[in-house]
Amino acid sequence: MATATRQPLPQRLLLGPGPANVHPDIMAALQQPVLGHLDPVFQELLVETAGQLRGLFGTANELTLAVTGTGFSGMESCLANLIEPGDTMLVGVHGFFGMRMAEFAQRFGAQVVEVTAPWGEPLSAADVAAALEQNPDVKLVGVVHGETSTGVRQPIAEIAAAAHAHGALVLMDAVTTLGGLPVQVDEWGVDAAYSASQKCVGTISGLAPLTFSPRARARLAERQAALPTWYHDMEALHQYWSAQGFYHHTCSSTLVYGLKAALDLMDAEGIENRFARHQQCGDALKAGLEAMGLSLVAATGHRLPMLTTVSIPDGAADLDVRQALLAEHGIEIAGGLGPLMGQIWRVGLMGYVAQPANVTTFLDAFAGILTAQGCSVDGNAGRAAAEAALAG
Amino acid sequence: MATATRQPLPQRLLLGPGPANVHPDIMAALQQPVLGHLDPVFQELLVETAGQLRGLFGTANELTLAVTGTGFSGMESCLANLIEPGDTMLVGVHGFFGMRMAEFAQRFGAQVVEVTAPWGEPLSAADVAAALEQNPDVKLVGVVHGETSTGVRQPIAEIAAAAHAHGALVLMDAVTTLGGLPVQVDEWGVDAAYSASQKCVGTISGLAPLTFSPRARARLAERQAALPTWYHDMEALHQYWSAQGFYHHTCSSTLVYGLKAALDLMDAEGIENRFARHQQCGDALKAGLEAMGLSLVAATGHRLPMLTTVSIPDGAADLDVRQALLAEHGIEIAGGLGPLMGQIWRVGLMGYVAQPANVTTFLDAFAGILTAQGCSVDGNAGRAAAEAALAG
């Protein structure tokens, strides 16, 4: 093969906001023989995978599946199905992904009411309730469970209750949280939720798991306007991802093998153990960064375990530090998005990557590079604090 | 891993309309280390891959890339970008995929003028020209280069010339043909074309290569209506798939490794050799089927090499035959779509699968099953005719 003569690709430690490194068992699962998208064996696998996704989403929703595309494709799927032109949608905007949700909704013809909070803070359920009172036409409320641009974890249940009291449906972005934090679609009263495969779920990107409640499906059944998409037609997708197995698109068996292996690994680890692992590693990283003398961005008490945001200290140059981490240590972290570009770094510990050794490896490398670039940070204190948190 | 305890998945010979079996070198390429979607090494790979796709599409179009999704996602991308609500689009409908293109276009608000031909025949360029004359508002003409539902190969250049004389743009579906037949976007005057990764391109599904001409991009620049999609926003995708490398979505390095390895394999084989291989295998299959006593569906002189359609003979039951092929020989072929359901079978020889041994293996298995089910076919004559064609 012609590729045999090229340079081997570098092995990175992927500590950005996803993709994360993929567990070797999942990589191995990708090598299983390709099956046709209508093969009865593959269709059984789809039905089984949908069942496991229900467990992960904390839902009994029959319409639970994965669309072929990335997390944004999941966001777009949900909005395209749930919005009719002229509908009013309330979107919680306290970061880049809430902004994107508002922008997508407008592209589908929604009048968008934004409820905002400072980037780094969660939304206030009282603000949402007040906005609903002022906007009686709101039919859909969108919230981001884990705002990957700020590192904030958003409580959902109270906002969902306010939306339901108003007669609105609730759409939740669980791109960053699914597989790393409890997601309780039914308990919280969420009507539609979407995620992505390459973050805490832990396989390669290319699939967006999602779920629609019976209430959300009733909304689809009542649609007056034609659906502005065929690829993301939720009921057609569901007829494919079910025992009926009607042809919709050429779903990749390889991508589903990866997702299924990731879900099997979660079952083998125990989902509570998995959540605890993410929490412990995230706590240790945060303790280390603060002990080093750096400031965290997300408000105390509202921090995501799997994605930590840290302010860029005086004297450090965003790109120089990230490039040095990549070049000298093979470690990828991410910069800020939108107004936080150049202001913060984002460090992920997602899925397979959420391991104690990766926390200390990163802290050592990071402290070394910041010091070399003339920033005054205390690497020893950082490592000690992280080790204490990991031991605790 | 929990999956270790499950039954191994069956190894099929995939002779349907895609996915095809994947070359082992491509499967191996999928194991390369995952890279972040903004990693400079990955971005170089994207730029290089786009260059190879230009060669395959026969175009100098700068906007050439692959969207993360299947072939239908490529179709939807092109239509969403090129259609504004109220636009008139002419669609050539002589099979299922032309029907789908017309349906997608309507979902984006187009007034659709259909030019039809009997399923199994190509469209007539004169019919297209006449319809254009009767419909002066047509802004976009859509045609399917390889109609996978009927096995028909559609000449494009004459239709494109008629469209251009009319001031309309030309959209071409090359889902089935790219990588197996010459596709000459620039020479034929095609303004936008899309394909899929899992047919004659030969990797797993999940990417849809596509290309937009400068004329098509000018249409995008002139759009009045908001684009009804963000995920498929062509100019935003292009800013990602270029040296700028602006974040758009989390493109999977693994999927791109597969596509790149497939393109490298084409370079190594020589594209003309690859086309000849598809032609020879397709010709041998058709010769074998006819010698066996069966009737081909697509009109003589307009048959696709990589997808052969054959009428279901009296006495044979569609599903019984396909299930027996799968159960007894591990061979997948496909049934008909739409009005051809129950009337025809579709046999693919795409990419890695287009090999002489697969032709004779299939013919023997097929003749055996048809005979066992009480159909009178001449298996020996079929094999002899195929072998003669392969030797010729």
Q: Tokens representing A292?
A: 């080093």
Chain A touched by B346 (CB under 8 Å): no
CATH number of B270-391: 3.90.1150.10
Mutate to test the interface with B, among A254, A273, A331 (most CBs of B within 10 A): A254
- What is the CA angle A133-A134-A136, rounded to 5? 70
Average pLDDT over residues B296-315: 97
A2: pLDDT strictly greater than 80: no
- For B12, the closest of A14, A33, A250 (CB atoms) is A33
Helix (H) or strand (E) holding B265: helix B253-269
Q: Closest-CA residue in chain B for A70?
A: B250
Mean pLDDT of chain B: 96
pLDDT, residue B75, reads 98
* CA distance linking residue B5 with residue A267, whole number of Å: 13
pLDDT, residue B151, reads 98
Q: Tokens representing B28?
A: 């191996």
pLDDT, residue A245, reads 86
A3: pLDDT strictly greater than 80: no
Chain B touched by A353 (CB under 8 Å): no
Chain B touched by A336 (CB under 8 Å): no
Chain B touched by A358 (CB under 8 Å): no
Chain A touched by B293 (CB under 8 Å): no
* CA distance linking residue A382 with residue A391, whole number of Å: 14
A5: pLDDT strictly greater than 90: no
The residue type at A275: F
Chain segment B247-277, per-residue pLDDT in tens? 999 999 999 999 999 999 999 999 999 999 9
Chain segment B195-207, per-residue pLDDT in tens? 999 999 999 999 9
Task: Give B388→chain A minimum CA distance, Å.
Answer: 30
Chain segment A158-208, per-residue pLDDT in tens? 999 999 999 999 999 999 999 999 999 999 999 999 999 999 999 999 999
Q: Which DSSP state fits A339?
A: G
Chain segment A360-384, per-residue pLDDT in tens? 999 999 999 999 999 999 999 999 9
Q: Closest-CA residue in chain A for B70?
A: A250
Q: Which DSSP state fits B375?
A: -
User: In sequence order, what are the residues at sequence separation of 6 or more whose Cβ sits closer than 8 angstroms to the Cβ of residue A53?
Assistant: A64, A65, A66, A209, A211, A263
In what side-by-side order are the strands of the sheet with A138-144? A63-68, A207-212, A192-194, A169-173, A138-144, A88-93, A111-116
Share of chain B above pLDDT 70, in %: 98
For chains A and B, CB pairs below 8 A equal 219
Q: Closest-CA residue in chain A for B232?
A: A73
- For A33, the closest of B9, B100, B205 (CB atoms) is B9
pLDDT, residue B110, reads 97
b/e code B159-190 from CB counts within 10 Å (16+ = b): bbbbbeebebbbbbbbbbbbbbbebebeebbb
Helix, strand or coil, per DSSP, at residue B104:
helix
B2: pLDDT strictly greater than 50: no
* CA distance linking residue B346 with residue A298, whole number of Å: 57
Chain A touched by B22 (CB under 8 Å): yes
The residue type at A171: L
- Whether B73 sits inside 8 A of A198 (CB atoms) is no
* CA distance linking residue A152 with residue A123, whole number of Å: 10
- Whether A31 sits inside 8 A of B35 (CB atoms) is no
pLDDT, residue B243, reads 84
- For B196, the closest of A250, A255, A265 (CB atoms) is A250
Average pLDDT over residues B367-391: 97
Residue B207, φ and ψ in degrees, nearest 5? -130, 145
Q: Tokens representing B188?
A: 């034929």
* CA distance linking residue A299 with residue A303, whole number of Å: 7
B13: pLDDT strictly greater than 80: yes
Chain segment A149-159, per-residue pLDDT in tens? 999 999 999 99
- Whether A228 sits inside 8 A of B27 (CB atoms) is no
Q: Which residue has the tokens 């010459």?
A: B182
**Does B270-391 match B24-267 at the fold level?**
no
- For residue A33, how many other CB atoms are within 10 A of its CB? 17
The residue type at A222: E
Q: Tokens representing B87?
A: 């636009």
Q: Tokens representing A14?
A: 């992927």
A104: pLDDT strictly greater than 90: yes
A39: confidence class by pLDDT, cuts 50, 70, 90: very high
B338 interaction partners in chain A (CB closer than 8 Å)? none
Chain segment A247-279, per-residue pLDDT in tens? 999 999 999 999 999 999 999 999 999 999 999
* CA distance linking residue A241 with residue A249, whole number of Å: 11
B12: pLDDT strictly greater than 80: yes
B392: pLDDT strictly greater than 90: no
pLDDT, residue A6, reads 63
Q: Tokens representing B144?
A: 């399917």
Q: Tokens representing A386?
A: 């992280």
Task: Give B285→chain A minimum CA distance, Å.
Answer: 21
- For A252, the closest of B76, B108, B205 (CB atoms) is B205
A7: confidence class by pLDDT, cuts 50, 70, 90: confident
Domain ranges of chain A: 24-267, 270-391
Residues 175-214 of B with CB under 8 A from A: 196, 198, 204-206
Q: Tokens representing A340?
A: 């936080």
Q: Tokens representing A204?
A: 């390669």
User: In sequence order, what are the residues at sequence separation of 6 or more whose Cβ sits closer than 8 angstroms to the Cβ of residue B279?
Assistant: B305
A81: confidence class by pLDDT, cuts 50, 70, 90: very high
What is the radius of gyration, based on Cα positions, of chain A?
21
The CATH class, in words, for A24-267 is: alpha beta
Chain A touched by B106 (CB under 8 Å): yes
Chain segment B121-166, per-residue pLDDT in tens? 999 999 999 999 999 999 999 999 999 999 999 999 999 999 999 9
Chain B touched by A1 (CB under 8 Å): yes
Task: Give B341→chain A minimum CA distance, Å.
Answer: 13
Chain A touched by B16 (CB under 8 Å): yes
Residues 228-247 of B with CB under 8 A from A: 228-231, 247
